[in-house]
Amino acid sequence: MSAPRPEWMARVLDAVGEELPEAFSTFAPPVDPDRRSAVLMLFAPSADGGSDVVLTARSRDLRAHPGQVSFPGGRVDPTDAGPVEAALRETEEEVGVDPASVDVVGEMPALFLTPSGNAVTPVLGWWPTPGEVRVVDPAEVERVERVPLADLLDPGRRFTVSHPSGYSGPGFEAGGLFVWGFTALLLGAVFDLAGLSEPWDKKVTRPIPEHVLSDWARSRN
């Protein structure tokens, strides 16, 4: 199955170029961050005529963000030409997607993750002829799913996450995954920029599941 790139993907880049959303201005990186990374927001046509997005659950043995839902990606190496090449390379290494099969839409502004001193560039991609996704490197990825956009856009699956540290932010529950933090922030921003978001009740608050909190706490020790 090969499908043309959805029109909303171009709208995202046009919109972010015209007016930087609050998330990108709030988390703008410093001039010289300690680390630079890239993630691939890889969307694909699904068998039911809709679209889905590739999400991973990070290995629980990682020191940074163990067990957390994320986009495939990682550090920009000196041998990479830039964030796009890094995101494609890491996605192949983690979940087996051939870089040549990805239609790269473009880069979005980098976001800064303060705890790790990491400036992360989101790369927007379309997978016109999707294939299998699988865990290639269990040391990095515990699980990979193609999650339907219809589920992520369902107002009943969106909520505000509350964290014992005092943090609150957007959250999703779809594909058997609890999505919060950086990944949820970025998904919400892209949906808003694309004009896909449906009204949802931000007063609905959910705590982070205990097993996710345990992974988070262990990474701080």
Residue 159 makes CB contacts below 8 A (sequence gap 6+) with 170, 171, 172, 173, 200, 201, 204, 205, 206
3-class secondary structure, 215 = helix
* Model confidence band, residue 113 (pLDDT cutoffs 50, 70, 90): confident
**Structural domain for 12, as ranges:** 7-219
Report the domain count for the chain: 1
Predicted pLDDT of residue 161 = 93
Question: Has residue 2 been placed in a domain?
Answer: no
Predicted pLDDT of residue 66 = 59
Alpha-carbon distances of 171 from 109, 117, 179, rounded to whole Å: 21, 23, 6
Range from 13-22, 64-73, 147-156 that averages highest in pLDDT:
147-156
Question: Has residue 160 been placed in a domain?
Answer: yes
Task: Give the pLDDT mean for 146-156.
Answer: 97
Residue 66 CA to residue 80 CA, distance in Å, equals 25
Q: Global pTM?
A: 0.91
Write out pLDDT tens, residues 175-206: 999 999 889 999 999 999 999 999 999 999 99
Task: Assess whether pLDDT exceeds 70 at residue 61.
Answer: no
* Model confidence band, residue 87 (pLDDT cutoffs 50, 70, 90): very high
Which residue's entry shows tokens 């809709």?
50
Question: Has residue 75 been placed in a domain?
Answer: yes
Residue 172 makes CB contacts below 8 A (sequence gap 6+) with 152, 157, 158, 159, 178, 179, 180, 184, 187
Question: Has residue 1 been placed in a domain?
Answer: no
The pLDDT mean for the chain works out to 89
Task: Assess whether pLDDT exceeds 70 at residue 64.
Answer: no
Would you say 62 and 137 are in contact if contact means Cβ atoms under 8 Å apart? Answer: no
* Model confidence band, residue 85 (pLDDT cutoffs 50, 70, 90): very high
Question: Has residue 118 been placed in a domain?
Answer: yes
* Model confidence band, residue 220 (pLDDT cutoffs 50, 70, 90): low
Task: Assess whether pLDDT exceeds 80 at residue 116.
Answer: no
Question: Has residue 16 been placed in a domain?
Answer: yes
**CATH number where 195 lies:** 3.90.79.10
* Model confidence band, residue 99 (pLDDT cutoffs 50, 70, 90): very high
Give me the percent of the chain exceeding a pLDDT of 90: 65
Predicted pLDDT of residue 153 = 98
